[in-house]
């Protein structure tokens, strides 16, 4: 993936975390975003979050939950105010992505005929705290 469409329907070029760290000064004024793999250390981005227009978290591996932790750290702990988009996502991950702090998403092409609303608003009670409970009541 070399680009992503943001919530304003604009195409944004993406670079890897490594490329961003190597070239922050030259890339920060170009309006590029960053693709974050589950194995990446998002803590390395903390000092330059104000220069990043969009962060794309790769959720391709259904069994790997690190993307949720990345979203939570970025949105809650470090107060990243830009767009956090979950990419390559499975529809069953949608509600958890949104609760963790993902602000938009791009599902895998396999799900183009599914109604995401059923998957993002299907529950009214949750049993764990989250960055965004989407109107659900917490029950601990």
CATH of the domain at 8: 3.20.20.70
Q: State the chain's mean pLDDT as an integer.
A: 85
Number of domains in the chain: 1
Contact status, residue 23 vs residue 64, Cβ threshold 8 Å: no
Going by DSSP bridges, is the β-strand pair 83-89/54-58 parallel, antiparallel, or unpaired?
parallel
Winning range, highest mean pLDDT, from 60-69, 76-85, 108-117? 76-85
> In the chain, pLDDT over 70 holds for what percent of residues?
79
pTM: 0.81
Sorted by sequence, the CB contacts under 8 Å of residue 74 that are 6+ apart come out as 42, 45, 49, 55, 80, 84, 101
pLDDT digits 0-9 by tens, 94-131:
888 888 899 998 888 887 776 655 554 555 554 455 55
Residue 16 has pLDDT above 50, yes or no: yes
Sorted by sequence, the CB contacts under 8 Å of residue 126 that are 6+ apart come out as 99, 133, 136, 137, 138, 139
Residue whose structure tokens are 């609303």: 117
**pLDDT value of residue 12:** 95
d(CA 113, CA 64): 24
**pLDDT value of residue 107:** 85
Structural domain including 107 reads: 3-138
- The vertex-114 CA angle with 109 and 118, nearest 5°, equals 135
């Amino acid at each position: 993936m070399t680009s992503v469409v943001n919530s304003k329907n604009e195409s944004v070029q993406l670079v890897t975390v490594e490329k961003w760290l190597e070239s922050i000064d030259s890339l920060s004024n170009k309006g590029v975003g960053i693709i974050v793999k589950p194995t990446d250390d998002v803590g390395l981005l903390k000092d330059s979050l104000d220069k990043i227009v969009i962060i794309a978290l790769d959720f391709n591996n259904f069994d790997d939950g690190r993307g949720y932790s990345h979203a939570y750290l970025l949105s809650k702990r470090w107060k990243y105010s830009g767009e956090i988009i979950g990419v390559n996502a499975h529809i069953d991950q949608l509600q958890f992505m949104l609760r963790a702090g993902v602000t938009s998403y791009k599902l895998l092409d396999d799900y183009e005929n599914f109604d995401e609303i059923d998957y993002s608003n299907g529950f009214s009670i949750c049993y764990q705290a989250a960055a965004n409970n989407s109107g659900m009541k917490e029950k601990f």
